[in-house]
Amino acid sequence: MSNVIEMNHITKKFGDFKALDDVTLHIEKGEIHALLGENGAGKSTLMSVLFGLYQPEEGEIYINGKKEDINNPNIANDLGIGMVHQHFKLVHNFTVLENIVLGHETVNAGFLKMTEARKKVVELSENYKFNINPDAYISDITVGMQQKVEILKMLYCDNDILIFDEPTAVLTPQEIDELMEIMKQMAKEGKSIVFITHKLNEIKAVADRCSVLRKGKYIGTVDVKSTSKEEMSEMMVGRKVNLNVDKKEQQAGDTVLEVKNLTIKDQIHSGKNAVSNVSFTARKGEIVTIAGIDGNGQSELVYGITGLLHVDSGQVIFNGKDITNESIRKRCLEGMAHIPEDRHKFGLVLDYTLAQNLVLQTYYDDRFQKNGFIKFEEISKYAKKLIEQYDVRSGQGEESIVRGMSGGNQQKAIIARELDRDPDVVIAVQPVRGLDVGAIEYIHKKLVEQRDKGKVVLLVSFELDEVMNLSDRILVMYEGEIVADIDPKTTTTQELGLYMAGTKRGIGYEKQ
């Protein structure tokens, strides 16, 4: 096989911080090449250099044997390079179709010609079983659907070199399997794929070779078939990693969170409920997981519990108090923590510093203000403590602007802020999305610690392995309803999949 990409001795700096330090990467034609590394290791930065978003201080790039200066993404597209970004590059008040053709429009006498574009997008959607409405607005579709639009944007341009930056982070297990098959088919067609992921199972399932970065340096390239997951994880973090969740026997106590007959109307489809008459309890010292395929009401349920959405009927009882109509701040003060699904929309103020984001819910405490004046030194000291404790990596420490941090480190910042408040209930939605195995091990350990301290953890996850390993109890949601309450010790992933697909219901949850 010949190299279609040669990135030789690439160095990229942000101020004095070396994001990439003399990195060399070669990609062969027709291969799926995994790029593995911790959060902030430089993976996305390296691919952003290849895609023309960043220009390196040192190094050379060869495409099909010819040296190229890729100064912007348009040049990259002309060279056949496409990229699915970890953080979506979508215009929220445009339709799916408009986003896909943006920058590649067909125009006649100043008017857009969308007929051929629509036909191609519909065909691509059908071929890859994406089932996307081209006329839906981005603001109205789920995070999982938005990810598919990003993939369709790249497919629409007929690129031969495809960069997937954490493409499965928001997909369901079934969608991930489909994407793996699509990637294999693309490779057979001669396309070269760079696959950035933290998920070792996915690398083993689909990749031919894997290159590892650690703290901006190239560690090595291995053949995936002959290298174990444990060996790859050790290359990535520089130490042995426990890939299993260790937790002691559950000691459940009194009920802390009670949801009674909760109903929330669908914000997109009028006349339909996103959450229909949902009831459940969660007790001290247990991890209750809400499982289901994305888009079955999990997000709306969490928004209703945390106060981000208006509840149409029903009650949320927290520590014996009805908090259904309380403000978000009151819920926080009562002891509710929320690790949101969309960290950019609900978790962070992207143009604030890391220190400011770490005190978003506590800046008004006496330790951080006096007579309305902020104690900046105290906030800085507190932020440094959390940054070290949770290993949040960024170029300028607590003074870093959050927008410029890697997705995984943004996530770690949210988790640090929420757990350090010592809440009574932790509502965690996809808490390890986009995190490397070392960080996943750490966050899972932190959630289990919360449970063992007698706290409630309400987990929402689309990762079956995470659901089965972490849960004390599994509630399955399908079309806005709870359809089963399952003990993970007495069920299988296959049976769980049947509940999630709506083909099976638990005892007491039969359709009336």
**pLDDT tens digits for range 90-121:** 998 999 999 998 887 777 766 777 888 889 88
Domain endpoint, select from 213, 237, 261: 237
Which residues face 67 on adjacent strands?
Answer: 62
Residue 453 lies in a domain: yes
The span from the CA of 270 to the CA of 64, in Å, is 52
Quick: pLDDT tens for 302-330.
999 999 999 999 999 999 999 999 999 99
pLDDT of res. 142: 74
pLDDT of res. 386: 94
Q: Which helix (H) or strand (E) holds 262?
A: strand 255-265
- 170, 296: one domain: no
pLDDT band at 357 (very low <50, low <70, confident <90, very high): very high
pLDDT of residue 178 exceeding 90: no
- 56, 153: one domain: yes
DSSP 79: T
- 399, 459: one domain: no
Residue 312 lies in a domain: yes
Residue 341 lies in a domain: no
Instruction: Say how many domains are in the chain.
Output: 3
With tokens 């990259």, the residue in question is 76
Quick: pLDDT tens for 47-85.
999 999 999 999 999 999 999 999 998 899 889 998 887
- 172, 47: one domain: yes
DSSP character string of 106-155: -EETTEE--HHHHHHHHHHHHHTT----TTSBGGGS-HHHHHHHHHHHHH
Quick: pLDDT tens for 270-296.
678 889 999 999 999 999 999 987 778
The mean per-residue pLDDT over the stretch 200-206 comes to 90
Q: What values do phi and psi take at 132, rounded to 5? A: -110, 135
**Alpha helical stretches, state H, 131-245:** 143-156, 173-188, 200-206, 229-237
Specify the amino acid at residue 89.
K
Residue 161 lies in a domain: yes
pLDDT of residue 44 exceeding 80: yes
Which CATH number belongs to the domain containing residue 208 in this structure? 3.40.50.300
**Alpha helical stretches, state H, 253-401:** 298-306, 328-334, 354-358, 376-389
Query: Distances from the Cα of 149 to the Cαs of 81, 136, 197, in angstroms?
Result: 17, 11, 19
pLDDT of residue 147 exceeding 90: no
pLDDT of res. 400: 93
- 442, 495: one domain: yes
- 326, 432: one domain: yes
pLDDT of res. 234: 86
Sheet strand arrangement including 58-63: 17-28, 3-14, 58-63, 66-68
The mean per-residue pLDDT over the stretch 190-198 comes to 89
- 261, 311: one domain: yes
Specify the amino acid at residue 291.
A
The span from the CA of 275 to the CA of 483, in Å, is 12
Domain endpoint, select from 361, 392, 422: 422
Specify the amino acid at residue 323.
I
Residue 21 lies in a domain: yes
pLDDT of res. 107: 73
Q: What is the mean pLDDT of the chain?
A: 87
The mean per-residue pLDDT over the stretch 124-153 comes to 84
Q: Which tokens go with 173?
A: 């297990």
Residue 340 lies in a domain: no
pLDDT of residue 483 exceeding 70: yes
pLDDT of residue 236 exceeding 90: no
pLDDT of residue 151 exceeding 90: no
Quick: pLDDT tens for 369-392.
999 999 999 999 999 999 998 888
pLDDT of res. 438: 77
The span from the CA of 59 to the CA of 13, in Å, is 12
CA-based radius of gyration for the chain:
23
- 407, 465: one domain: no
Domain endpoint, select from 237, 268, 290: 237
- 305, 194: one domain: no
Closest among 251, 298, 258, 243 to 432, alpha carbons compared: 243
Least confident of 347-351, 352-356, 419-423, 498-502: 498-502
CB 432 within 8 Å of CB 453: no
Least confident of 62-66, 198-202, 334-338: 198-202
- 379, 429: one domain: no
pLDDT band at 212 (very low <50, low <70, confident <90, very high): very high
The span from the CA of 339 to the CA of 360, in Å, is 13
pLDDT of res. 441: 83
Residue 114 lies in a domain: yes
Work out whether strand 58-63 and strand 3-14 pair parallel, antiparallel, or are unpaired. Answer: antiparallel
The mean per-residue pLDDT over the stretch 138-157 comes to 83
pLDDT of residue 29 exceeding 80: yes
- 76, 145: one domain: yes
CB 282 within 8 Å of CB 257: yes
- 460, 328: one domain: yes
- Residue 16: give the domain boundaries: 3-237
Which residue would you say has higher pLDDT here, 199 or 485? 485
pLDDT of residue 132 exceeding 70: yes
